[in-house]
Amino acid sequence: MTSRTPDLPETPDAFSIGGEYRVARIGWGAMRLPTGPGPDRDAAVAVARRAVESGVTLIDTAHLYGWGANEELLAEALHPYPDNLLITTKVGVVRSDGPEGWAYDARPDSLREQVEQGLRRLRTERVGLLQLHRIDPEVPLAEQIGALHELRQEGKIGHIGLSEVTAAQLAEARRTAEIASVQNRYNLFDREYEPVLEACEAAGIAFLPWRPVAAATPGPASVLDAVATELGATAPQVLLAWLLARSPVLLPIPGTASLAHLKENLAAADLRLDESRRRRLDGMARPV
């Protein structure tokens, strides 16, 4: 997890994050993995291992996912990590006694402690890509990014990413430190963050869309299902293929705890949409 990944060739199916980690463009989100003891945990470990065996080189987790339990599960399943694997985790959200059970906390001292804890749980001395899960509205953004920049200078972070940010916030953060990735909600039906994607394209920043497969898709008579039928694919595969075709900086991270679903998602990398089908799908987007 700490070394460069030069083994993937320059193709539309690979992208270099921060100029260092060259990853396959369809990653995997580990959020849904059960982390409790017993058979479900054994199955989760098996899914994580199968993901890597199947060519996944980008795995997304976060402190928020089980308050560290997800990170510990990935370490159990995959450590020592293959040289070509990039596990990205997120900090900036902590457990609280409030009604939501969590709160923003991106104070510099807190971020440092969260990163140290994440390193221990992941059993590594350096996290290749560390993303700020949410911007803390109570702390100046320059202080939040500055704290992560200091950790990067110390060698504990390889690259810095952001999550759920506007184009203006991305630009502001880049005035303090180099930003390698953005993780925002984005899919065929939800393109609220189109300006952020455009900014990422212009700067060569990876855009990791969460919820890449829309939860609510149209009915069986929809254009999406028609295109899927024409290609002998599933609707989720078409949605992932659309993202890959939409921009070279888009790296979908569909989440699943199912071996069958994992296989289905990864097969979308081989699906190609011609210009006509892309135009038909583009017309299905909701107005921004």
Residues 236-252 have pLDDT tens digits of 999 999 999 999 999 99
Integer Cα distance of 203 and 195 in angstroms = 13
Buried (b) or exposed (e) across 174-194, using 16+ Cβ within 10 A?
bebbebbbbbbebbbbbbebe
% of the chain exceeding 70 in pLDDT: 93
49-65 pLDDT per residue, tens: 999 999 999 999 999 99
Q: Write down the catalytic residue from 65, 81, 186, 193.
A: 65
Alpha carbon distance 246, 56 (integer Å): 20
In the predicted structure, residue 2 carries a pLDDT above the cut 90: no
Q: Which domains does the chain have, with CATH numbers?
A: 14-282 (3.20.20.100)
Respond yes or no: is residue 186 known to be catalytic: no
Pairwise CA distance, residues 90 & 163, whole Å: 9
pLDDT for residue 5: 45
**Long-range contacts, 201-204 (Cβ 8 Å, 24+):** 201/247, 201/248, 201/249, 203/174, 203/179, 204/249
Where does the pLDDT of residue 286 fall: very low under 50, low under 70, confident under 90, or very high at 90 and above?
low
Say whether pLDDT at 9 is over 80: no
pLDDT at 37 over 80: yes
